[in-house]
Amino acid sequence: MDATFDLLTLALLPGLTPRAGHELLARGPLAAALERPSGHGDLLVGEALAALRTGAVRRAAEAELRRSTGLGLEIVGRDEDRYPPWLRRVHTAPPVLWVSGSLVPGEGARSVAVVGSRAASPVGLAFARGLAADLADAGLVVVSGLARGIDAAAHRGALDAHGRTVAILGSGLDRLYPAENGGLAQQISANGAVVSEFPLGTGPWKPNFPRRNRVIAGWGRAVVVVEAGSRSGALSTARAALDEGRDVMAVPAHPSEPQAEGSNGLLREGAALVRGAGDVLGELGLERPRPRASAPDDTVLAVLARGAPAGVDEIQQRSGLALPELLARLSELELGGEVLRLAGGLFVKARSAPGYTRPR
């Protein structure tokens, strides 16, 4: 715990870079480093030592530790077994993590991030939820950012499958953002972890989110993007993943959708195409999940067999399927070329569409 407390102390020191912090700790415990002359080393290291010698930062760390413990939170240091090993490899790995819930040693090797647009379409939300459920059912940990839209859907999908999920925040754990996902955060803490690299009291300030995104990207083996506009934060996560040598995958979206530009752009740049959990597991060299029963697909196709276009409400009424399952099936069938989406939110069986020609 002494090593973690030293890391916490450095994390609370304004302006100290990870490299300077590493150099400081390379000298040994902070108490020993403070007893030695600063020498002619890095200017930041010298300034850090001067600040540490005042004792104010250490007192702030003690107060932070007391507050965190009082809230039932843990502070996990970079040198602890529970710290995600893949995140530790990131060049700017956070020295400590504030954790609500539990971290499991070594689980980063079976962690995949699922991220996307806050303003996601109903089809995108259902697809993300179903994908996350299948990934969790296959034993993967689903990582995301607790944001509205795709992130929240991914967390809920993992919970649907009684799997583990990890939410990374861009604020302190006592300043949950968005507040509307407070109930979801409690469920995640009970089945995984809600995590932040920011001290208590830190608000959801804009500069925090690129840092949050690089933690999401570095947590596990891959990032899957489901619907992302041209300026989506999910693209920041994908870029960070590429920088760290992680796999980047994307779900194709209809070109007419505003949420399609970023995710389809990733596919043009070489990201692996994802039609379901099997594609993700295949890219990672893991065992593919058992295929789902085909009855819902047959039901949806049967409704559309008459050839007349139908909206989601009509298809749901005739099929009897729950809305999330129906939207996920329509998305799968559209990606597979069995169903076409028309203007006005209507769907039609591909072979019944005017001008349809069989793909070669």
Q: Does residue 52 contact residue 34 with C-beta atoms inside 8 Å? A: yes
Residue 119 counted as domain residue: yes
pLDDT of residue 18: 66
Domain identity same for 131 and 208: yes
First to last CA, the chain: 63
Q: Which of 239, 256, 283 is the last residue of a domain?
A: 283
What is the pairing mode between strands 310-311 and 346-349? Answer: antiparallel
Q: Which of 283, 303, 330 is the last residue of a domain?
A: 283
Q: Whose CA is closest to 249, among 232, 226, 217?
A: 226
Residue 198 counted as domain residue: yes
Residue 96 counted as domain residue: no
Domain identity same for 25 and 139: no
Residue 266 counted as domain residue: yes
Domain identity same for 303 and 328: yes
pLDDT of residue 222: 96
How many domains is the chain built from? 3
Model's pTM, two decimal places? 0.79
Domain identity same for 54 and 24: yes
Residue 255 counted as domain residue: yes
Domain identity same for 277 and 326: no
Domain identity same for 278 and 304: no
Instruction: Please give the full DSSP string across 248-273, using - where no structure is assigned.
Output: EEEE---TTSTTHHHHHHHHHTTPEE
Domain identity same for 65 and 128: no
Domain identity same for 312 and 270: no
pLDDT of residue 56: 85
**Between the CA of residue 11 and those of 8, 45, 48, 355, what are the distances in Å?**
5, 14, 11, 62
Residue 163 counted as domain residue: yes
* Whole-number Å distance between alpha carbons of 265 and 228: 9
Residue 78 counted as domain residue: no
pLDDT of residue 106: 84
Task: Decide: helix, strand or coil at residue 335.
Answer: helix
pLDDT of residue 217: 95
What is the pairing mode between strands 247-251 and 222-226? Answer: parallel
Question: Which residues make Cβ contacts (< 8 Å) with residue 182, sequence separation at least 6?
Answer: 176
Residue 322 counted as domain residue: yes
Burial 1-30 (b: 16+ CB within 10 A, else e): eeebbbbbbbbbbeebebebbebbbeeeeb
Burial 35-44 (b: 16+ CB within 10 A, else e): eeebeeeeeb
Domain around 6: 1-70
Domain identity same for 138 and 60: no
Q: Does residue 130 contact residue 328 with C-beta atoms inside 8 Å? A: yes
Q: Which of 283, 312, 332 is the last residue of a domain?
A: 283
pLDDT of residue 22: 72
pLDDT of residue 185: 97
* Whole-number Å distance between alpha carbons of 267 and 339: 21
Mean pLDDT, contiguous 10-residue spans, the chain (360 residues): 84 75 72 60 64 82 95 94 92 92 89 94 89 93 96 96 96 96 96 96 94 95 91 90 93 81 91 92 78 60 82 86 76 78 81 47
CATH of the domain at 275: 3.40.50.450
Q: Does residue 141 contact residue 192 with C-beta atoms inside 8 Å? A: yes
Domain identity same for 214 and 157: yes
pLDDT of residue 38: 55
CATH of the domain at 324: 1.10.10.10
* Whole-number Å distance between alpha carbons of 250 and 279: 10
Domain identity same for 39 and 167: no
Q: Report which DSSP code applies to 12.
A: T
* Whole-number Å distance between alpha carbons of 260 and 177: 25
Domain identity same for 135 and 245: yes
pLDDT of residue 327: 78
Q: Does residue 57 contact residue 51 with C-beta atoms inside 8 Å? A: yes
Residue 244, Cβ density class (10 Å: 0-12 exposed, 13-18 middle, ≥19 buried): middle
